[in-house]
């Protein structure tokens, strides 16, 4: 009997720009998994209804993007430890009696830095710029790598301090504002949205060490990447994070790990 392929979606608003369908189609072809993956535009105030409708239609799982990651966290009936720590959900898995919420952003970024870029975090000074949702989602996976210190820097130091206190039991973590940062950091990660506006977090050039990473990506290097490379750092953008977080979600759903390298290469060439 020929059964229909399993259905997955990426839910957001807007959503037309999402590369997730192309990424997961490549993963499915590569691993021999029978599935279809589409975009789903949900009304800004209609996320949970859109998810429930999709489940009723037989949907097996969903990726969640802006602005619904907090809604997904609230909707999930079970949360993974990394989703609890992130306070947001980007991956949903639907079972008969549960909606599992996970967050694969942090592990996606760490895999891109440690495995793909070959930059170890263990024993290193790491600086994380920004104290919003993007920053919060990666803190636990960074601390799991056992850096010597993680400093969260933000324009408003109290927000960074609030975030640091949430994770104080997981490793050596501190907070600062941008201007008061001291010393050089082996790894600097930009989790602010400054690059979207061709802007730069106002950090001292002396903080830049051997490696800098911007979660944003594009055809050209970001302003932050230019700044960091000018001051001697090897730089990388967030395209690999996009592919790796998708691969982790694919593993959560299908129990199979796709090879991300050819998919990353294809997306990079298409930018």
Q: How confident is the chain (271 residues) per 10-residue block, as mean pLDDT?
A: 88 96 98 98 98 97 96 98 95 96 98 98 98 94 98 97 95 96 97 90 97 96 97 98 98 98 97 93
The full 3-state SS of 95-141, as one line of letters, equals ECCEEEEECCHHHHHHHHHHHHCCCCCCCCEEEEECCCHHHHHHHHH
Q: Say whether 19 counts as a known binding-site residue.
A: yes
69 catalytic? Reply is yes
CATH architecture under which domain 6-103+241-270 falls: 3-Layer(aba) Sandwich (3.40)
Per-residue confidence (pLDDT) for residue 182, from 0 to 100: 94
Q: Which phi and psi (to 5°) does residue 125 adopt?
A: -85, 120
Catalytic-labelled residue, pool 60, 69, 93, 124: 69
What number of residues does the chain have?
271
Q: Say whether 155 counts as a known binding-site residue.
A: yes
CATH homologous superfamily, domain 106-237: NAD(P)-binding Rossmann-like Domain (3.40.50.720)
Residue 129: count of CB within 10 angstroms of its CB: 28
Per-residue confidence (pLDDT) for residue 1, from 0 to 100: 56
Per-residue pLDDT reduced to its tens digit, 9-43: 999 999 999 999 999 999 999 999 999 999 999 99
Give the three-class secondary structure for 164: helix
Per-residue confidence (pLDDT) for residue 2, from 0 to 100: 63
CB 91 within 8 A of CB 111: no
Q: Say whether 20 counts as a known binding-site residue.
A: yes
What are the start and end residues of each CATH 3.40.50.720 domain in the chain?
Answer: 106-237
What are the start and end residues of each CATH 3.40.50.10860 domain in the chain?
Answer: 6-103+241-270
What whole-number distance in Å separates Cα of residue 152 and Cα of residue 164?
Answer: 7
What whole-number distance in Å separates Cα of residue 11 and Cα of residue 3?
Answer: 25
Per-residue confidence (pLDDT) for residue 51, from 0 to 100: 98
CA angle, residues 176, 181, 186, in degrees to nearest 5: 110
Nearest 10 degrees: CA dihedral of 91, 94, 99, 103?
Answer: -10
Q: Say whether 120 counts as a known binding-site residue.
A: no
């Amino acid at each position: 009997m020929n059964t229909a392929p399993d259905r997955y979606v990426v839910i957001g608003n807007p959503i037309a720009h999402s590369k997730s369908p192309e990424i997961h189609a490549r993963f499915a072809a590569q691993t021999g998994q029978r599935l279809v993956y589409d975009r789903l535009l949900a009304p800004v105030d209609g996320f949970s209804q859109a998810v429930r409708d999709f489940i009723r239609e037989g949907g097996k799982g969903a990726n969640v993007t802006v602005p619904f990651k907090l809604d997904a966290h609230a909707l999930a009936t079970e949360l993974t430890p990394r989703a609890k720590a992130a306070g947001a959900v980007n991956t949903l898995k639907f079972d008969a009696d549960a909606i599992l919420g996970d967050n694969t952003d942090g592990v996606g970024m760490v895999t891109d830095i440690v495995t793909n870029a070959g930059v170890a975090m263990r024993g290193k000074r790491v600086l994380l710029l920004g104290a919003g949702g993007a920053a919060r989602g990666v803190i636990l996976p960074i601390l799991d790598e056992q850096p010597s210190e993680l400093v969260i820097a933000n324009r408003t130091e109290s927000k960074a301090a609030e975030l640091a206190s949430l994770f104080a039991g997981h490793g050596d973590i501190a907070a600062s504002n941008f201007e008061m940062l001291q010393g050089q950091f082996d790894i600097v990660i930009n989790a602010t949205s400054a690059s979207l506006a061709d802007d730069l977090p106002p950090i001292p050039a002396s903080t830049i060490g051997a490696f800098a990473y911007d979660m944003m990506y594009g055809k050209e290097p970001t302003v932050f990447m230019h700044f960091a490379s000018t001051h001697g750092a090897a730089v990388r953008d967030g395209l690999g994070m996009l592919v790796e977080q998708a691969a982790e979600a694919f593993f959560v759903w299908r129990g199979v790990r796709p090879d991300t390298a050819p998919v990353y290469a294809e997306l990079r060439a298409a930018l």
